[in-house]
C-alpha cells in the first residue's frame, strides 16, 4: 500500500491540464506530454510505485482520490488499482486503461538543442503575468531582449494596438523576441530557472518539476 501525498495529487491535477490521460511508470517519477506534443513535463515525487498505472480519464481519477482523506494505492491486481482510506474501511477500484491508446512522452528527457537565453521566473512574476493576460484577454507571452533589459510582456502579437503588460526579469546584451501561447504555460506555481533555445523550445526547471514548452513562430 502506498499513501499518496497532497503534493503528488497537485502534480497530477496540473498534468491533467496538459493531457487528460497518463501512464505512471514504476518508480518515483511522473511524466506527461500534450496530445499536440508541444508541452512535456516530468516531476520527481516522494512515492515509489512498483507497477505501471494507466489512467485514461485523469480528471475522473482525481475525483475518485478526493473521496479519501489519505488515499492509499494497492497495485497488486493487474486489472485495476485499488484505492482506500487510511482506515481501510472505504475502498474503490479504478480499472486500468490500455496504455497503447494514451499519448506518452519519450523515455529519455529532451535535450535542449541550444541554450540562448537564461533567466529566473519567480512564482509571483508568473502569476502577475497570467492575471494581466486574463484582464486584457490577450493570448501571447513574449520574452524581449532590448535596450539591455530582459522583459516578459503579455500581448496579442497579431495586433499592433494590443494592450500590454510587461515585467523586467533580467539584463541582456542581445536583442530578440521569443513568444509563447499563454494557454501553453500550464506551470505549477513555483520559481523556475528558464532556458530558451532559438530552435523554438524553452525549458522550465523548478524544484521537483520540469517543463519543455514549444515557442510560437515569430511570423
Domains present along the chain, CATH in parentheses: 2-101 (3.70.10.10), 117-214 (3.70.10.10)
Query: In this structure, is the dihedral angle defined by the CA atoms of residues 74, 79, 80 and 81, taken in order, positive or negative?
Result: positive
Task: Determine the 3-state secondary structure of 93 from DSSP.
Answer: strand
Could you read off the pLDDT of 125-135 as tens digits, one per residue?
999 999 999 99
Q: Cα separation of 77 and 88, whole Å?
A: 17
% of the chain surpassing 70 pLDDT: 100
Find the mean pLDDT for residues 174-186. Answer: 95
Sequence length of the chain is: 219
Q: Cα separation of 46 and 49, whole Å?
A: 10
Could you read off the pLDDT of 60-111 as tens digits, one per residue?
999 999 999 999 999 999 999 999 998 888 999 999 999 999 999 999 888 9
Could you read off the pLDDT of 149-168 as tens digits, one per residue?
999 999 999 999 999 999 99
Amino acid at each position: 500500500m502506498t499513501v499518496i501525498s497532497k503534493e503528488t495529487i497537485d502534480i497530477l491535477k496540473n498534468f491533467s491540464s496538459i493531457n487528460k490521460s497518463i501512464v505512471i511508470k514504476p518508480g518515483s517519477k511522473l511524466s506527461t506530454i500534450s496530445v499536440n506534443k508541444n508541452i512535456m513535463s516530468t516531476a520527481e515525487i516522494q512515492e515509489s510505485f512498483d507497477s505501471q498505472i494507466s489512467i485514461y480519464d485523469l480528471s475522473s481519477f482525481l475525483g475518485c482520490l478526493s473521496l479519501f482523506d489519505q488515499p492509499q494505492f494497492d497495485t497488486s491486481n493487474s486489472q485495476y488499482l485499488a484505492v482506500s482510506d487510511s482506515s481501510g474501511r472505504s475502498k474503490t477500484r479504478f480499472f486500468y486503461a490500455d496504455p497503447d491508446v494514451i499519448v506518452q512522452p519519450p523515455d529519455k528527457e529532451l535535450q535542449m538543442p541550444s541554450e540562448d537565453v537564461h533567466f529566473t521566473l519567480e512564482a509571483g512574476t508568473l502569476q502577475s503575468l497570467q492575471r494581466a493576460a486574463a484582464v486584457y484577454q490577450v493570448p501571447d507571452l513574449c520574452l524581449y531582449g532590448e535596450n539591455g533589459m530582459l522583459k516578459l510582456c503579455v500581448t496579442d502579437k497579431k495586433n499592433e494596438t494590443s494592450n500590454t503588460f510587461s515585467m523586467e526579469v533580467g539584463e541582456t546584451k542581445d536583442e530578440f523576441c521569443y513568444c509563447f501561447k499563454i494557454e501553453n504555460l500550464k506551470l505549477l506555481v513555483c520559481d523556475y530557472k528558464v532556458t530558451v533555445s532559438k530552435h523554438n523550445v524553452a525549458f522550465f526547471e523548478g524544484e521537483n518539476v520540469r517543463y519543455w514548452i514549444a515557442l510560437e513562430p515569430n511570423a
